[in-house]
A = this chain, B = another copy of it.
């Protein structure tokens, strides 16, 4: 899942504050200190969300917004408008410009995170059918909506990490997955434990899913692979 968030905000304190809280929630903030830079960043990135201050040097928020909406590549990225003015006209304008939400400064970290998540969730909802799809492999069945795993119609109780691991394996059948890849994708980019940890979890997963034992194979010097066939 795409976790990048572009923050276009000239006040460094606020930018780093936002950045800090986004990071803490597992997002990857990319900061731009003015409108030009923001648009420039957008040429190479495709973030899940843009947080845009209205008052910016070089190119203000309104202009940025307009350009965003003009270009097909960016027109669907949700935008949260930031503004110090609580005046309603600004808000209105924000919404008329096509923003998905707004926040007035000062805002609480909680509010920030809640809005970010809400907007991303809303924007993702259309593509959400994926989650409703079950993963079935032989007698194995993963129902993500219910967060349940069954083998041969019997529930297999898994811990959170085991579940993620299994799901990841199932979504990448036949591909070699290095321990680093697994750590990156399941534990997250800000995890700094040892790669041995992966082994332990794989081991435990295999123990709970004995019938699939032989499918989860170690690839020496690299990591693991779920063999399909």
Q: What residues of chain A have their CB less than 8 Å away from a CB belonging to chain B?
A: 13, 16-17, 20-21, 86, 88, 91-92, 95-96, 98, 100-102, 106-111, 114, 117-118, 121-122, 145-147, 159-160, 174-176, 180, 183-184, 189, 191-194, 219-222, 225
Contacts and interface: CB of A to CB of B under 8 A. Distances in A.
Contacts of A183: 114
Contacts of A114: 180, 183-184, 191-192
A200 B77 CA distance: 36
A61 to B, nearest CB: 17
A175 B94 CA distance: 36
A108 B17 contact: no
Contact of A106 (B20, B95, B147): B95
A160 B13 contact: no
B88 A145 contact: no
Question: 9 closest Cβ contacts across the A-B interface?
Answer: A160-B221, A147-B176, A110-B192, A111-B192, A95-B108, A17-B88, A114-B192, A145-B175, A146-B174
B122 A86 contact: yes
Given A117-B180, A146-B175, A109 B96 contact: yes
B106 A146 contact: no
Given A176-B146, A220-B160, A222-B147, A106 B102 contact: yes
A91 B13 contact: yes
Contact of A147 (B17, B95, B98, B219): B219
Nearest to A109: B92
B88 A13 contact: yes
A138 to B, nearest CB: 20
Counting chain B CB atoms within 10 Å of each CB, which of A88, A175, A184, A222 scores highest?
A88
